[in-house]
């Protein structure tokens, strides 16, 4: 954990700019595990009218819930990115999150969500696009709380409950916190200029006032109670405006990055983090083979959404028929956790799969194995022969690093590709990184669970002219033709 002091690096035209501050701007980039803990306690402002407003840039609009504003403490206070599967227009509810509905998926639009106390509101937000700045505000006025996007009310207003017990947190639920259906939530993207204001701002004030989307927080705005600009005081600079002189603590995966004062999305989106697991994964395919990316992360037009947003589907670049029976390999060193290989090809509800613990807290899942192909491919079939008893294979659990766990090395052959079971010729490898060992969506425990957008290392992408572009670490996007270049 690191602690930084906050200072304003610019002021609005209507305010006097502090002397000695450099004319630059910064934001915080958040990825898996990223959060910002502030020293602002909800008890300091909750009992009167207030506004909390911030600027944000989403990296994956079609992912699962990612609270931008939350609480480090107890009580429900989570406002921000909504799960892609939530049913838009459902209004306030006290009956749990309406996630993964046919109506929600059919809309194919990003959502915003607010969960305060025992009441939740979900609202469609079609204007949100990956890599563009927006403004989020939570306004309490006359005992009612309303969520706003760029000054426009989103969903219904709710009756304000008692104050959450704890401090304002940004980017991820606090310790022990949960999102809609018990799964972990994470906001991916940029956050900047968080302001707590001692009055209820109107829609017009949010749209055109000193807190509007394209402005910067200066520290001298009227009714500003506390503000966070994520800057550092330059040597020789004057003392901070007192309202910005508060501390934040960043988790390891929250990083200060350079951003543009005038919020140029094209530049700023390049500052969003690319997350890599400790094991630095390679592509799960044999070296120098060409494969095609069917679905990448948080693809709003595909089937990987909600808690399964960060999964990858790939097949041989030659096409579907040739993919049936194609071998695939391990993406990183780890320990075998589970193998399911005895089901017939085409079983949609319970596909054959492999789970490997790559690092503490990170499991890789490989789905749609050809039946019994692990027994033939893994270690050339020799391990299975040595460990087969009474016609069955005994797989020691690999959840702990111990002498009984089965070691798998990066690039080791694992099994062969089969069908998802969703239709004829649907042959492909489905790959995901998760924070739980059982990656099957049909038998999840009701605890925190999330797929994680982990980057691959050392691969190449085929260009339109036939040349290959090297990628040191990056995400797979739909339409890419890729190949692994390391053994």
Q: pLDDT tens, 321-331? A: 889 999 999 99
For residues 246 and 383, state if they share a domain: no
At residue 65, the pLDDT reads 86
How far is 375 from 54, CA to CA, in rounded Å? 53
Token pair for 24: 């630059």
Q: pLDDT tens, 431-467? A: 999 987 655 443 444 456 789 999 999 999 999 999 9
Q: Do the strands 429-434 and 362-367 form a parallel or antiparallel pair, or are they unpaired?
A: antiparallel
| Contacts by residues 370-373 (CB-CB < 8 Å, ≥ 24 positions apart) | 370/324, 370/325, 370/345, 370/415, 370/416, 370/417, 370/418, 371/341, 371/342, 371/343, 371/344, 371/345, 371/418, 372/341, 372/342, 373/325, 373/341, 373/415, 373/416, 373/418
Q: Is residue 285 part of a domain?
A: no
For residues 259 and 393, state if they share a domain: no
Helices (H), 209-358: 265-268, 320-323
Residues of the chain with pLDDT under 50: 1-23, 88-89, 95-102, 181-182, 233-235, 237-238, 397-401, 422-423, 440-446
Residue that finishes a domain, picked among 239, 271, 303? 271
For residues 397 and 355, state if they share a domain: yes
Comparing C-alpha atoms, which of 36, 90, 16 is closest to residue 246? Answer: 36
Q: Is residue 280 part of a domain?
A: no
How far is 5 from 231, CA to CA, in rounded Å? 7
pTM summary value: 0.87
Structural domain range at position 313: 291-484
Burial class of residue 469, CB neighbours in 10 A (0-12, 13-18, 19+) = exposed
Reduced to 3 states (helix: H, G, I; strand: E, B; else coil), residue 225 is strand
Number of domains in the chain: 2
Domain at 310, CATH number = 2.70.70.10
At residue 360, the pLDDT reads 84
Q: Is residue 279 part of a domain?
A: no
At residue 106, the pLDDT reads 58
For residues 335 and 447, state if they share a domain: yes
For residues 336 and 476, state if they share a domain: yes
Q: Is residue 256 part of a domain?
A: yes
For residues 260 and 357, state if they share a domain: no
Q: Is residue 387 part of a domain?
A: yes
Comparing C-alpha atoms, which of 115, 113, 66 is closest to residue 307? Answer: 66
Q: Is residue 175 part of a domain?
A: yes
Q: pLDDT tens, 259-277? A: 987 778 889 999 999 999 9
For residues 237 and 109, state if they share a domain: yes
Domain at 51, CATH number = 2.60.120.200
For residues 229 and 378, state if they share a domain: no
How far is 303 from 15, CA to CA, in rounded Å? 49
For residues 123 and 237, state if they share a domain: yes
At residue 438, the pLDDT reads 59
For residues 13 and 118, state if they share a domain: yes
Helices (H), 433-481: none
At residue 32, the pLDDT reads 94
For residues 103 and 229, state if they share a domain: yes
At residue 95, the pLDDT reads 46
For residues 353 and 467, state if they share a domain: yes
Q: Is residue 334 part of a domain?
A: yes
Q: Is residue 276 part of a domain?
A: no
């Amino acid at each position: 954990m690191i602690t930084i002091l906050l200072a304003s690096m610019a002021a609005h035209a209507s305010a006097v700019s502090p002397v000695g501050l450099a004319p630059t701007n910064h934001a915080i980039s958040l990825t898996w595990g990223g959060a910002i803990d502030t020293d602002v306690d909800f008890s300091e402002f909750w009992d009167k009218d207030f506004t909390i407003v911030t600027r944000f840039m989403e990296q994956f609009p079609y992912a699962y819930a990612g609270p931008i504003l939350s609480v480090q403490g107890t009580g429900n206070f989570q406002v921000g990115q909504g799960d892609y599967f939530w049913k838009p227009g459902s209004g306030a509810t006290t009956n749990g999150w309406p996630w993964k509905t046919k109506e929600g998926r059919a809309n194919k639009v990003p959502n915003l969500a607010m969960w305060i106390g025992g009441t939740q509101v979900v609202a469609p937000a079609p204007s949100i696009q990956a890599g563009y700045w927006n403004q989020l505000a939570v306004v309490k006025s006359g005992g009612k709380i309303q969520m706003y996007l760029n000054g426009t009310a989103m969903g219904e207003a709710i009756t304000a409950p008692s104050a959450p017990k704890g401090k304002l947190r940004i980017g991820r639920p606090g310790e022990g916190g949960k999102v809609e259906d018990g799964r972990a939530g994470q906001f991916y993207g940029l956050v900047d200029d968080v302001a707590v204001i001692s009055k209820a701002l109107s829609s017009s004030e949010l749209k055109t006032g000193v807190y509007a989307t394209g402005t910067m927080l200066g520290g001298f705005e009227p009714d500003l109670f506390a503000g966070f600009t994520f800057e550092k005081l330059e040597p020789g600079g004057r003392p901070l405006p007192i309202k910005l002189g508060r501390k934040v603590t960043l988790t390891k995966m929250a990083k200060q990055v350079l951003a543009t004062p005038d919020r140029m999305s094209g530049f700023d989106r390049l500052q969003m983090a690319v997350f890599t697991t400790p094991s630095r994964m390679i592509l799960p395919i044999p070296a120098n083979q060409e494969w095609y990316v069917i679905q990448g992360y948080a693809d709003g037009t595909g089937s990987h959404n909600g808690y399964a947003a960060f999964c990858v589907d790939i097949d041989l670049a030659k096409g579907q028929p040739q993919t049936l029976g194609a071998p695939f390999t391990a993406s990183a060193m780890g320990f075998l956790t589970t193998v399911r290989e005895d089901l017939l090809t085409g079983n949609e509800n319970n596909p054959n799969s492999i789970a490997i613990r790559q690092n503490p807290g990170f499991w890789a899942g490989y789905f749609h194995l050809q039946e019994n192909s692990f027994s033939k491919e893994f270690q050339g079939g020799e391990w299975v022969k040595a460990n087969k008893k009474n016609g069955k294979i005994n797989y020691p659990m690999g959840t702990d690093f111990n002498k009984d766990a089965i070691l798998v090395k990066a690039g080791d052959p694992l099994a062969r590709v089969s069908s998802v079971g969703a239709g004829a010729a649907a042959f492909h490898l489905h790959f995901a990184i998760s924070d739980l060992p059982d990656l099957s969506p049909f038998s999840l425990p009701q605890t925190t669970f999330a797929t994680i957008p982990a980057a691959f290392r050392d691969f190449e992408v085929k260009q339109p002219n036939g040349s290959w572009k090297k990628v040191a670490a990056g995400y797979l996007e739909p339409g890419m033709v890729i190949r692994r270049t390391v053994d």
